[in-house]
Chain A
Amino acid sequence: MSVRASGGSIVGVDVGGTFTDLFCFDAASATFRTAKVPSNRGDEAVGFLAGLECFGAVGELGSIVHGTTVGTNALLERKGARAGLITTAGFRDVLEMRRRDRRHTWGLWGDFVPVIDRDLRFEVEERTLADGTVRVPVDPDAVRAAAQALIARGAEAVAIVFINAYANDANERAALEAVRSVWPNDHVACSSQILPEIREFERTSTTALNAYLQPVVGSYLAKLERALASSRFGGPFHIVQSNGGVMSTATARRLPVRTALSGPAAGVIAAAAIATAAGYPDVITGDLGGTSFDVSLVTGGATALAAQTTIDFGLVVRTPMIEITTIGAGGGSIAHVDKGGLLQVGPESAGSRPGPVCYGHGNDRPTLTDANVVLGRINAERPIGGALARLDVEAAREAIRHHVGEPLGLDPMAAAEAIVRIADARMAGAIRLVSIERGHDPGRYVAVPFGGGGALHVCALIDDVGLKGALVPRFPGVTSALGCVIADIRHDQVRTLNLTLDGLDAAALDARMVAEAAEVRDVVAGAGLPVERIDIVFALDMHYVGQTHTVEVPVAVTVRDGATGVTEALVRAAFERAYLTAFSRLLPGLGIRIVSLRTTAIGRRPHFDLTALAPPADASLDAARRGARPVWFAGRWHDTAVWSRLDLPVGAEIAGPAVLEQPDATTVVDPGLVARVDRFGNLIITRAGRH
C-alpha cells in the first residue's frame, strides 16, 4: 500500500448516536462537500464507509480525521474491557474508595461499582516514599505471579499503579518489564507513563480507565482501519482528542482515555475557528441536542481546557479536556410543574425515542420542542432529519395545556412561551456559569450555536446574558465534522516537580522543560500530518506552600538554542499575575512552590480558508424568499417572514421577526434583532442598530 500523492482532500468524520456527519475539503480546488448518513450502532465501520463513499472512491481520499464517541459510550455504558490492576501492597482499593465522596450532597442512596472488580486487583510488596526514595524495591517474580493470575482470570489489559510513582517511576518501570516478560500485550501500562502527577486516586482512575478502554478503542480503530484498507485507502487516519487536538491512531491506542470527549471537542474547535475567522475571537459555543445543552468558552480564539473531568460518579479522568459544561436542557427535555408550583424544564428527557409529543411516538408529556412547534418557531410541515412527514401541533398544544397551562393558570400559548423562556433561562444560566461567573464580560462574547437546535434559542441568549451577538455557522449540523478537518495536532504532558521557588535551580528547571518539549514535539512530529510549525507551550501548576490546590501559571518562554531562558523572577511574576487573576489578594512573605510542569506541543495545520463555505455569487434575496407564517413572540402572533437560509447572498440583512430554514437547522430571529450574512456565509445576529 502506498501513500497517494494525489490525495489532496481531507475528510472529517463525526460519528454520533443517530447520524454520521462528514465534511470533505479538497485543498487543490478549495471546494468542500458534506454528507450525512445513518450511524450503524455496534458496527460503526459500516456507516463510516458509507459516508466516505458519498465523496467517491475512498482510496482516492487524502486523509481522514475522526471524532468519536466510542470511548465516551464505553465509559458511560460500562462496556469497557476486562482489565486488571497491580498496586502497591495495601492500596488495591484506592480505585474503589475514590476520594471518599458520595453521589449527591443530599440523599444517601446509591452505590458505586468500579471499572475493575476487586478480584482483578492484585497487590505486590514495593514502596517508594514521597521524596522519591525507594524503600522497598519491587520483586519482579511477585509481579509476574500477579500477571499470571490476571491472565488466568481472563484480563485483557493491565494497569500498574504504585504509590508515589510520580516522584520516582523505577519500581513501576520494573513491574512493567516483569508483566511484559510473561505477557506480550500492548494493553499494559503503568501510571507514570499515563499521568506522572501527584494524587493517587486521580492517577489510578485515569490509568485504570485507560486500560479499560484500550482493547475497546483499539479494536474499534482496527476495524475502521481494516475497512479503510479494504477500500484501498492508504492515507493518514487520525483521531480527535478531548483537548481539541488531533492525534495519530498509534497515540490513540496508547492513550484512549484522551478520546473521552473527542466528538464534542471537534465541534468546539470548529466553532472557535469559524468565529475567529469572522472577526469574533471571543465565543461561547452552545450545542443543543435532544437531552442536553453543552457550553464551552473560547477566549481570544483559544478553547478553555479543564485539567480534570468526572465522566460519571467515581470515574475521574485527569488529562486536559476542553471544558464543556453540560446541563440537562435539550429539545426533548420535559416541562412540568413541581409540587412547589414552579415550572421546570428537564433534566428528565423524552430523548429521540419516543421523543417529543409532536413526533407521535407515544410520549404525552410536553417537551421544549413541542413548545417551539406550538409557537410556530419550528416548521411542523418540514421536520429536520426527514424521518417524519409532519409534526403533530395539536397533540403538542394539548399536552402543554394539560401539564403546564392548567397548573399555572396560563392559556396554552402563554404556557408554551413560558416553557421556552425557562429553557432559555437555563441555557443562559449555563452560559453565565462559564462566562460572568468566571469573570468574563459577556458583552465581549458572541454565542455560536451548533447542532440541530441551538439557533432556535440564540436570540433570547443574547438578551438574557447581554452577549454582543450570535454567529450561526453556515452548516450548524456538520460543525463537528468540520472541526476534525481544521483541528491542530496536539500532545499534552504533565510532570510533578515539587520545587520551591525561593532559590530555584533555574538551570535544572530549564533542562526539564527542554526535555519535556522534545518529547511532546516528537509525538506531534510523528503523527504524519503536514503542519506549518510546531509550537511548544509551557505552564506551571503553582501555589503558596501549604495550599493543596494550584493555579495554572502560563510561562511565556520557548525553546531556543536548546534553552528556555526561564528564571526565578520570571516565574514569580507569572505566578503573581495568575494568582491575582484567580483571587483578590496575594499573600506576601509566604513561600511559593512549583508543583507540576505542563508541556504541550501544537502542530499548526495549514491554514484552512473558510471562505470556501460562502454562498455562491449568484445568490439573491428573491431566490431565498419562502413567504411568511405566524410565529408567537412576546405574548402575540407576529406575521413572520420565512427564508431559505442557504440561498441568502453575502451581505443580506434580515430584520426580526424572521425564520431562516435550512435542512439541518432552523434559526429564529426575534423582533428587535437583525441577522446579516457575512462573507463566510455565517449569520451574524445583533440587536437592531448595532453591528
Chain B
Amino acid sequence: MFGVLIRIDAVTKRYPDGTVAVDRLSLDIPDRAITVLVGPSGCGKTTTLRMINRMVEPTEGSILLDGADIRQQPVNSLRRSMGYVIQNAGLFQHRTILDNIATVPRLLGWSKPKARGRAAELMERVGLDTSLAKRYPYQLSGGQQQRVGVARALAADPPVLLMDEPFSAVDPVVRKGLQDELLRIQDELGKTIVFVTHDIDEAIKLGTMVAVLRTGGRLAQFAPPAELLSEPADTFVEDFLGADRGIRRLSFFPSDELPLQTGPLVRLDADAAQRTARSDAPYLLVTDADGRPLGWAEPDRPLDRERLLDHGRPFRPGADSLRTALDGAVLSPTGWAVAVDGDGRAVGVVSQQVIGEAIRAAHGRAGAGVKAAR
C-alpha cells in the first residue's frame, strides 16, 4: 500500500551513564502516512523521533531516508527538509505569527515577501484567521499557537513532518479539533508524518501504523491500529491499550451493513389505526413531519409529544462506525439505536441484539482478514 520512506535499522541509543534509551529498534516508516510512536514515559519515543532529524545521534545502527543514510547530508539541510512540531508549539515569542511561519522558507533563502506570502497561505490551511498575522504568540490561545506550530512546520513544504506530543498541552476539546484538522490536512497534503504521543487513543485515532514501545526503548508491536486492538502481541500491549479495547475496536467496523427496521417509524400526526398497524414493535420511533426523530413512544398509548422517551444520539450508517451505533443503542432507554441520513431524517432503527450479531459477524471477517494478510 505504501512505500518505505524512513528506515530505522537496528538503532540503539546508549547514554554515557549507561542508560539505554532505545534498544535495537527497527521500523519501516511508510511514505505519505501517519506513523505513531506510542508508549509510557521512558520508552524512547521522543529519542527515536529526534534521531530522525539528528538532534540525537544513535550509538549504533543507521537511519535511511529514501534509501540514503541521513548522515550523508549536512545536518541543517536535513533538518530544513523535515517539519518539526513540539508540545507548547515552541514558537519564537519575539516574532509575529507570520514571521514565525515564514522561518524555514527564510532560512532556505526565500525573499521576505515570498516567504510571508507562503506563510499567509498556510495560516488559512491550518484554520487560522489571517487577521492574526501581525500578532505575537502571547496574544494567541494554546490551540491557536499549536496551529501556528503546524503551519510553521509545513511552511517549506517538507516531505517529512516530525511531531513530538504536539497536542498534549491543550484541553481535550481543542485537542480533538487539532487532531481532526491534522487528519484533514494530511488528506490534502499526504506527508510522511512521524507522531509521538503517550495517549493510546490519539495513536489509534491518527495512526495509519502504530508502533508501541516499552520502557527501555524496545519495540513491543508495530501494526495498524485495528490489528493492534484485535491482536495485541503480548500482555504489555494489551494492558497499554486499556480495559475497553473491544469497544474501541468497533470504531474500525462500518455500520452500513446493519439491517435497519423501518416498521416502528411513525409521524407525530399518525392516527391510531396507523399506530396499531405497527404494534408488533415494542416501541415506536416518533418523528416530526420532516422525518426527524423526536423520541420513543409505546404503541398502545396516544401520542403525546411531551411524554416521549429520549432517543439517544443517532448514528449515520456508512459515516459512523459500529461503535457509534452501539453507543446510541446503549444510551437509548429502549435499547434501540436510531439511524439517520445526512440531513438528520430517521431512516430506520436497530436493536442492541442486531448490533451484537453484526459485531460478531464483523469480528469473524476481521479475524479471517488478519490471518489471510499474513
A and B pair up? no
Q: A: which residues have CB within 8 A of B?
A: none
Q: Name B's A-contacting residues (CB within 8 A).
A: none
